[in-house]
Each structure stands twice: as structure tokens, then as C-alpha cells.
Structure 1
Amino acid sequence: MNLFKSLRDIYGKTTVKHLRDLENCERKLARHRNHLVYTLRCRDLSLTPPSLKIKCPINTKKAKDIILQAQRNLLRERVRVINNKLVNLKSQKSDLEKKLKAIIPAKSELDKEISSHLARIRENTFEKTKCRHVRKLQNLTERDQNKKSKHGLSTGATEPDLTGTQLKKWVVNLSKYKLSRAQNNVLAKGLDYAVSPTNVCSNEFVIATELACKKLTHPEAIQLRAKVTSALKSSKPPKSNLSKDERQAVKDLKKEDSIIILPADKGRATVILDKDEYNEKVNNLLGDTKTYEELSSDPTQKYKRKLVAILTRLNEEDKITFGKYKQLYPTAENIPRLYCTPKIHKPNAPLRPIVDYTSTIGYATSRWLADILGPMLGNTVHHVKNSTHLAEELVDILIDEGAILNSHDVVSLFTCTPISKVLDIVKDRVSKERWLRDYNQSQGFNLTADDVYS
């Protein structure tokens, strides 16, 4: 609301109306992009959205074929209409942006706030619409499969092709181990595929119930326990979402010690590597003495004492609340764990190192700092969010004849970043920008740029 008040006070109601129109345009663009993807998926999977279904008045095969063809034509027409709508919306967005740029000076504080505000609107609308369309597509696919199963038809048309091109796309076997067909099938589902349990996980429900009972009165707790107990006694495990061969394949893969199964660095492919080769690549990576240094002892306790001292000082100086102090106080002392993901899009599949910081002394503090420093992202003209954003930025750029558009491949970005310079830049940005003051007011804190830097 402060943004619109500032615009109204400085530039008048017309400018506010332009920004509101631009907001609506961003929302419509986000919705239509998701709608286009949903429609194209329906077309590729030979599915008809409920809004385009036509009731067949004649119960003959020829009549049903006519209706089916009509539905496909309507689906193609919808794709064309959405594409035209996107073109019109982009043109409308461009006009509104030009009107605002003509009024508001470029790179001013208001211009940055407007860019950040529109980015949030675009992202939130896109994610909400995406979730809704994903659910719609899943429901539509399930109904289609159930219908075919009911009539004794094969559902293979809507299942992923696990042979040939699709198999190479989703399962990349770089090891000497030969996968069976069932193992290929189960790996193609992805490493985040939730396998249905063979029994009801009673222990998890009991633990969750007891945690909830702590916040209830004694009579309410007794009533809740009785309901949960009754539900568990009558519950049955869900229907298996893996075939018998696939379940056996999972067991066989767990027992195989010669291979390691990893997610690809880019894309959703599953990669199989020989464990010896993986260990050799990791050791070679850590053997780079210019990047990594071998420690003579575990420094966890040292860093814990240092972090506790900083948090205690901030609490004693009333710069953070006691509740936040307790939340950030390090209790877990696990050592950060390194693992690697293979870059299959590059020759010889080099590894990308990733440090798992979960349950370490600085995990809670790192998440808190990420929330504080998050608003700094995306506020520069050089920021590119993803490939879609880059494509949008390049649409209006004309390259001279003979010129070349070059893309640089950065190797080991984070390990090559000078930490001291980055910290100085962060401190400078935090001290100059006002969002830290707004954050303090909203949370009841009194942090300074030096506190964030420490």
C-alpha cells in the first residue's frame, strides 16, 4: 500500500491506474501461460478437458469418432486462441511499461519497488495457477485411466513410454551394471516417487497424536486418542502403486553395492554410476588444494561457541527477541555432509558438489539470514531469474549482422566466489537500503547492518 500511496502523492492517480492495469496484465499473462501448458499436455496425452467435452447423441462407432475428432479440433483451436491472447497481453504489457517509464525515472527507488512488486505478483499468480492446473491434469488422467480399465482397455497410451527415446531421457545408465526392464520402469518414475506403504504407519500417527494432545485439555486429549485408535484399527494399507516385479526391482537395487543411484544435476533424469567411479571423481574433486583444505580437527564446537556468543549478544542488546534467540540457538551438532550430482549434459558427466547443511549448528541461522537478505535479490538490471525470464528479455534485442550472442559456462561458481568481497557488498547494501528497517519493525527486532554482517 505504501508504494501506491507514494505513486499517488508524487505522480497522481493516473500513474496508479497504469500500475494497477500492469498488475492485471501480469496476472493474466501468468494464468494464460499455465493454461497453454495445460492445454498442450491434454493434446499430447489425447485427453479432452471437461469444458470441451461433447455428448454424443448417437451410440455408434462412427458417431463417436466424429465427436472425438471434433473435440481434438476444439483443443487445437483453444491453443491458437490462447497464443493470440498471449501476444495481445504482451503488447498491452509493453505499452503500459512504456507509459510508466515515461513518468517514473529509471533506476529510481520507486522504479525498483515497482519491479520487485510486479515480480512478486507474477510469481505468486504463476505458482497458484500452476498448482491448480497440475491437479486438474492429474484428475483428468486418473479418470481417463479408470474409464479405460473399466471397459477393459489398455492404459498404455497415457503412461510414459519406457523404451527407446523416453527410457534414455529418464534413466541414464553410465555404469557397467545392466538394468532389467522392471528396474528401468521403476527408476523412470523418478527418485521422488512416493511408493505406497505395505502397512499402515501406526507409530507416526501415534507420535503426531501425542504431540497434539499436549496442547489440549485432558478430556479433549482422551477423546482425540480414542478417535485415532478407532481409525487405526479400521484402517487398511493403500493399494500398491507398483507391480510385483517393480517392488522386487526396488529390493534388488537396494542390495546392489557396485552402483550408486543419483538425480541428474539438471532435469529430472535418474543416473546410475559405478560406485568406484563416483568415489574416484569425488576424491579428485576434493583433492583440489586451491579450493579445498584438509582440516586437522573437527571445528564444530569452535563455531558453535562463536555463534552462541553472537546470538547471546544480540539478545542481551535487545536486538532480537528471546523467542528468536531460542529458535536460533544451535542444538544439533551434525557435520555438514557433501554429496555430488552428475552433470549428464556435459562430456564425461563431471560432478557438482552439494553440501547438505540440514541439522547442523548454522542451519536455523542460515534460513533466518536468507529471509532477511531475500529482498536484495532481483533488484538489479542484470538479474535473470530463469530461462523463461531470459527469453523474455531477449525478445526485443536486435543483434547486428556479424555479431555473436555468447553464453559463458561458469565452472565452480561458489567455490570461486571471493567471500570477503561478497560480505562487504552485502553489508553495504544492507546499510543503504531501507528494507532492513521495515523488517525490524514487522518482527520487533533492532538489527543493524553490522549485526547481519557478523
Structure 2
Amino acid sequence: MNLFKDLRENYGRNAVRDLRSLENTERKISRFRCHRVFSLRAKHSGLIPTSLKLKCPINSVRARDIVKKAEKALLNERIRVISNKIRYLEQEKTRLNTDLKSRDVNKELSIQISRHVENSRENELQYVRARQTRKLKELAEKQDKSANNNANKNNSHAEPDLSGTQLKRWVKNLSKYKLSDAQNRVLARGLGYGVSPDNLTHSSIVDEHIVACERACWKLPKPEAAQLRAEIVGTLKSAKLPPSNIGKDERVAINQLQKEESIMVLGADKGRATVVMDKTEYQQKMSTLLSDSKTYEKLDRDPTPKHKRELVSILQRLEKEEKIKKADKQFLYPTSENVPRIYGSPKIHKDGTPLRPIVDFTGSIGYNVAKSLADILSPIVGQSEHHVLNSKSLAEDLKDVTLEDDEILNSHDVVALFTSTPIDLTLHILKERLNEDKDLKIELSSLLMT
């Protein structure tokens, strides 16, 4: 270029070096200014640049909030650092301009230098601006896509396909009651779908938080318990009502279904389908189940108080014999006396839609004991040679089995399996299996003898 050649011939290599430095400084200023604009726009749009994204090492709401705050703090710090860098480069630019002027460059060459520096600045500005604009757009699209994916994940049944066979798949109406479109949409979401509350003051969510807080306070010293209660109260008072995840017509549909006394809304025994049955038919089938004298026995009175006294006596004996710790006794101690509740789960995959009886043990005197025993027994589950994990595992086991012409593969459908299991024999087998495993650390093994 003639500019650098003339500058080198007339003013020396140092003058060319200063011009190159001035040109690079102008380009850096353009880049950092575009970077600052990009960061400010990201901040105002609630976006976090990819380079500042942090991986949350703990899967909890509080941990994710901490990470989000840290990402925002890093973005603010980047803006501050970029602004300081621009101020430094402006000072360097001023110094280089002064050095060039001190060489008494002629007017024509000074104009060429100014034009060259300005062109370099503008070219760099246009290039970086286009790149940063594209990055910001992609970042916003990525966040929108992520938000949509999360919404679809959380509301995976929010808009199910209710046309044709899909309606029969998600909602099985066996009753005489005719479901509206809104009721079908609500039921197709599944019984486990969490509907956002429309009033936090009388919401069951608030009650659940209060109950959980009180349970936690039982095991805390009084000062810490008081502080926890104060924090929970403050959090509940400042809580905002979340956006509704269902439509108004669907809320009305839920209220209608709750008030309709002629039907029962149940979850299918297999799959995630929702079943609607006539209450009279449901009660008749449950009565038929319970009338089986070989499986069930009618009691004259509630045995819960008696069983509670027996359980308390056992726990006291085990603590006295130092077979369980005091904390274990407190956990196993029956604080509620809810009577176990039986209900039926419709088997829509079988003719006549029979009911599978299920006993809800939640809140009963032996609920925590059952949980502890499940933990004790879990290591020996699946160790038998006859254990089948699932249908896929069974298919793997059978793929190498060849049947002869005079052989058949027979599958038995066991009726009332658990109620037909001999308890004494089962306990004996469990005791032997636990004694054989010397690696198990069991503090509550004596409970197996009760």
C-alpha cells in the first residue's frame, strides 16, 4: 500500500509501527463496543451468553437459583470489564494519535491516515456487529426452544391427540355419563398431572408446606425451629400465584367431574390411561371381591388400637435390647392411626374390566415400619434364579428356547397372589436369606420375627 510505503520512506519504520498500532487499537475498540452492546442486550432480554453458562452440580431448586444468580453476576462483571477495556483503548488511541502528529506528517498523508483508520474501524464494526447480532438472535431462539421443550416436558399431556384411536387410548369411558370435550382433555392429561392452583391462600400446597415444616421442626432445637417457621411463613406470604397451566373450560370441567356423584374416575391398572366407571358398577365389583371368604375375613371391630399397642411394645423392647436406636424408634413409632383403605384399579386390557385390589397403607400405624422393611429386603430382591425383571428380560431369556412339536409354552394368570402367599413360610425364607448374606448391615432384623 502506498500509504505505508510513503510513511516508511518519509518518517521511518517507527511511524508505520504507530499507524499499525493505531489501526489495531481502533479495531479492538470496535470489537469491544459491539461486545458490550451484545452483553447489554442479553442482560436486558434476560439471556445468558453460552460462554457464561454454568453447570449446576446439585439437582435442587435452590442450587439452580444460585447458579442463575451467579450467571447474571458474571454477565454484569463482563460488562464492567469490557467498559474498562474500552476506556483503556481510548487512552491508547489518544496516545498513538499524539505520537503520529508529533512526527509532523504532511497534510495529504494525514488525510490518508485518517481515511485508512476510519475504513478499518468501520469494516471491523460492520463485521463484528453482524456476528454479534446473529449470536444474540441464536441465543434468544435457543432459549425459546429450551423453554418450549421444558413446557412440553412438564405438560407432556397438556394437549393430547383426542382424535380417533388416541381418545380411546388415553380416556376409557365405561360409564353411561357422556364426557364433554373439555372433560376429555382434562382426563387425557392423566391423574398425576399437577394443576396449578388458582388461589394460594386456600391451596393444599400451602397446607403441605406447613405440615412438612412442622414435622421438620420436631427434630430441631427450639431456636432453629422458630427460625425455620419464620422463613417458611415469609416465603409463603411472598409467593406469587403461578400462571395457569389449564384453560378456564378445563377448570370448569374438573369441578363438574368432582361434583358428579354417578361416576368414578380411576387410573388404569396398566399404562397411563384414565378410566371412567359408573359408581354402582365399581361398588358392585368391589363388593364381589371382598365377599371372597377365602381371601378376606370380616372383622367385628377395628383392630388398629390393638395393633398399635403391640407395635409400641415391640419398639420399646427393641430399643431396650439396643437392637434399634432411639432415632429409629421415633421414626417407626406410629403417630397416626389411619385405617388402610382398599380400592380397585380397572384392568382395561382384560375382558369385563376386572378390578385389581390395592390397599393404601399411607398414614397407617405400620407405614414407616413397612418402608424400613422394604429397605432391609431390597438387597435380596431379584437374587433368585427364577426372578424375571420385566417382559423384555423374559423375552431375552426365552429367545434361545426351542419348543418341540409336542411341547407348548404355558403362562399362568395367578389370582390373588399376595393374599394367597403363606406368611409363615415367607418369613422363614426371608430370615434364611438375610442370615446367609453376611455383608448386610441390618439394625432392624428382629422386626422380621414379629
Sort the TM-score into its range (normalised by shorter chain).
0.5 to 0.7
Cross-structure match for 1:259: 263
Distance 1:218 1:329, change over 3 A: closer
Q: Which amino acid aligns with 1:169?
A: R
Give distance in 1, aligned partners of 2:330 and 2:392. Answer: 41
Say whether residues 1:439 and 2:447 are aligned partners: no
Say whether residues 1:329 and 2:325 are aligned partners: no
Say whether residues 1:452 and 2:448 are aligned partners: yes
1:16-415 aligned at under 5 Å gives the runs 141-142=149-150, 159-200=159-200, 201=203, 225=230, 229=234, 235-401=239-405, 403-415=407-419
Query: Does the CA-based 8 Å contact 2:264-2:278 persist in structure 1?
Result: yes
Query: Does the CA-based 8 Å contact 2:347-2:353 persist in structure 1?
Result: yes
* Bigger radius of gyration: 2
Query: Does the CA-based 8 Å contact 1:320-1:447 persist in structure 2?
Result: no
Q: CA deviation at 1:414?
A: 1.0
Q: CA deviation at 1:199?
A: 2.7
Say whether residues 1:427 and 2:423 are aligned partners: no
Q: Residue by residue, what CA displacement relative to the aligned partner does 1:135-183 show, whole Å, maximum 9, x if unpaired?
A: xx986635889xxxxxxxxxx9x94211210100110011111111111
Query: Does the CA-based 8 Å contact 1:209-1:225 persist in structure 2?
Result: no
Cα RMSD of the aligned pairs, angstroms, is 3.3
Relative to the length of structure 1, the TM-score reads 0.59
Give distance in 2, aligned partners of 1:387 and 1:142. Answer: 31
Query: Does the CA-based 8 Å contact 2:341-2:361 persist in structure 1?
Result: yes
Q: CA deviation at 1:227?
A: 9.4
The total of aligned residue pairs comes to 300
Give distance in 2, aligned partners of 1:314 and 1:419. Answer: 22
Distance 1:314 1:160, change over 3 A: same
**Secondary structure at 2:419's aligned position in 1?**
coil
**Secondary structure at 2:356's aligned position in 1?**
strand
Distance 1:382 1:293, change over 3 A: same
Give distance in 1, aligned partners of 2:222 and 2:339. Answer: 40
Give distance in 2, aligned partners of 1:335 and 1:144. Answer: 39
Give distance in 2, aligned partners of 1:211 and 1:360. Answer: 17
Give distance in 2, aligned partners of 1:313 and 1:222. Answer: 36
Query: Does the CA-based 8 Å contact 1:199-1:236 persist in structure 2?
Result: no
Q: Which amino acid aligns with 1:360?
A: S
Q: Residue by residue, what CA displacement relative to the aligned partner does 1:342-399 show, whole Å, maximum 9, x if unpaired?
A: 1111111111111111111111111111111111211111101112222222233333
Structure 1, unpaired ranges of 5+: 1-136, 146-155
**Secondary structure at 1:262's aligned position in 2?**
strand
Identical aligned residues as a percent: 51
Relative to the length of structure 2, the TM-score reads 0.60
**Secondary structure at 1:407's aligned position in 2?**
coil
Distance 1:414 1:226, change over 3 A: closer
Give distance in 2, aligned partners of 1:332 and 1:143. Answer: 38
Give distance in 2, aligned partners of 1:226 and 1:452. Answer: 42
Give distance in 2, aligned partners of 1:261 and 1:351. Answer: 13
Q: CA deviation at 1:228?
A: 6.3
Give distance in 1, aligned partners of 2:332 and 2:373. Answer: 11
